[in-house]
Structure 1
């Protein structure tokens, strides 16, 4: 398997030259655009990796899947989806347009920024610190990595330049979709996006969703089967921003990307996958990572359709 993964990395490395690292968050400019790595963990808990698999990067929008699961565990589902929708938006991940133009002004889904800010506001806790502690503990539990930390430089950079997200937050507050304090919600949102991971962490989280919430090592349930199904469905329909339909057709794996260059994928009952390539295409997805997943899906017959 590692030989196959290394061949896939080698054959797709050239595509990293066609993308650009994210620049709207200043700290993300420091990434090496030619990095490309992958980790796969199977149902026997065997781990295989190749390329830049030990590089740390911030999780960014991949965090939306985990926070959605947490919001659904903390609240009644009907309440959660009274605040955020279930439909693909067809717009860029940071679009603000439909908050004004759709009939309800409700965010289309939890995988775009507006929807994710809403789900972040639904995390339970008496104080911002308690919410942050619960969130970080949950990320660590899913990744089976107690060393996960918030990258303070990226967090501060996001907070300093996050005016578009701030505008969304106040629109959502005005229309009743956020009931919590807006600035505290945004602070928590910036922090969740700034959690530092490797592809091995992403593969471990992807495997948990693949196994419908059961820890492969202990056999203990961490997330309900229903929530895992829901999260993977959002990954297929909305997880790759406004390229989700094309990705579903060409790759056919539930996946979620982030502008830090990561992609987490989850093949039901088979494998969890983490990919890293900070050079992005115009829609904000890892340009090399997309190619790697397309090749892997075809080679191992992973397409769920």
Structure 2
């Protein structure tokens, strides 16, 4: 089919498809967090990732040790913490709000790149970071009518994710995307295993299948995104991936009846706009454009 072929061979199509798959995973995650302990969801996701990636890496002769092991472990640690916080955020607040908050990570990438690697921040980037912070304030609700801890977890998820992105940039200098993602799943599995055992609940067959399906969707989305970056620039791919916000927002409104308020719309536009601007400006700096869902 010509349309399917286009989706699978063009950077725009692959990125759009990856964003759609990730948004489906977001919707499913929202449901599963109301049925199962969060750490059980996380551990199964990480376990499936390790089980699927291990034979792929071995068949390609890629050493499981990787290069810059310390960076890989740190990236896995921050990515795991980001994922834990994202799950908690999705469980507690409207889906669209959780995803929009996660997409503030370009702000943290710019800040952490400056703090840890002395990458200069231009005046325009400072203004964009300020706009993003205002967007966060509006999204949380300045009158605190609907505030809960989910918003804090959303910001923590973004911050941890931003640090993970900075470390990914370092790791990519000597490692491929598969080994980086493998370490994320490996570290995540190790960290979540004790909590998985403590709160383990045997899911019924439908829930068990949904857990497996979620793990597969996240892996498929990651593969589509990695493939998409082969056909387009990193900055372009990162911007296309922001369509996940739109997909998740529509799904949250239709499926979970999430409210769409004026504060949310203005805050989301400021956050998306700042993210787009920071990605575009990163072309002129030494900082690589950041790609969402790399965690």
Looking at both structures, which has the greater relative contact order when contacts are Cα pairs under 8 Å and sequence separation is at least 6? 2
* Same structural fold, with TM-score higher than 0.5 when normalized by the shorter chain: no
Q: Which has the higher strand share?
A: 1
What TM-score results when the alignment is normalised by the length of structure 1?
0.30
Q: Which has the higher helix share?
A: 2
